[in-house]
């Protein structure tokens, strides 16, 4: 039985992981801007509008393919994926659940708003012991969006997801 509601489509999209940070779904990232469901039964057409996290990022085509795959497996072949480039995505769009999932994966979520960045990233929390006594080791981490930090209390290094 084909699904018909926007909520059901969003639930399916929750199983699409971000290729760069697989602990997050594309819902957690906040890149799904719109879901439209047209028609009924076999004639259903789903239009999904996404805002890519980084323009020109190769992950975007991976995400599009994964969306088609997940929706297709639910019995809907007629899927359109549109890109909306404005307004640009920022880390402020990461949901509260997404921030929690980052912490659980050992990645410190953005400490402040991309629109109002703090001068020197002063409030980066350690994902292991929740200490704010942390320092930057390298501005460039395992991916362009991350920096490498270390906790001065538990001494664990961790990835910090930079505000963007």
* List 121, 141, 151, 163, residue binding Zn ion (CB under 5 A): 151
Closer to Zn ion at the Cβ: 105 or 114? 105
What residues from 5 to 24 belong to the interface with Zn ion (CB under 5 A)? Answer: none
Residue that is written with structure tokens 């549109």 in the block? 82
Assess 157 for contact with Zn ion (CB under 5 A): no
CB of 96 to Zn ion, least distance (A): 22
Q: How far is the CB of 155 from Zn ion (least distance, A)?
A: 7
Number of residues that bind Zn ion (CB under 5 A): 7
63 or 126: CB nearest Zn ion:
126
| Binding test (CB under 5 A) with Zn ion, winner from 10, 129, 137, 143 | 129
Under rule CB under 5 A, residue 126 binds Zn ion: yes
Interacting residues with Zn ion (CB under 5 A): 126, 128-129, 131, 151, 153-154
């Amino acid at each position: 039985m084909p699904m018909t509601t926007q909520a059901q489509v969003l639930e399916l999209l929750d199983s699409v992981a971000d290729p760069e940070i697989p602990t997050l779904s594309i819902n957690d990232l906040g890149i799904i801007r719109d879901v439209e469901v047209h028609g009924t039964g076999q004639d259903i057409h789903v239009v999904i509008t996404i805002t890519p996290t980084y323009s020109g990022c190769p992950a975007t085509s991976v995400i599009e393919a994964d969306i088609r795959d997940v929706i297709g497996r639910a019995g809907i072949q007629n899927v359109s994926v549109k890109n909306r480039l404005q307004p640009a995505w920022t880390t402020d769009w990461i949901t509260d659940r997404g921030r929690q999932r980052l912490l659980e994966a050992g990645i410190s979520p953005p400490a402040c708003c991309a629109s109002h960045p703090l001068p020197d990233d002063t409030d980066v929390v350690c994902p292991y012991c929740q200490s704010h006594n942390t320092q930057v080791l390298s501005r460039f981490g395992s991916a362009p969006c991350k920096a490498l930090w270390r906790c001065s209390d538990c001494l664990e290094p961790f990835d910090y997801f930079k505000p963007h």
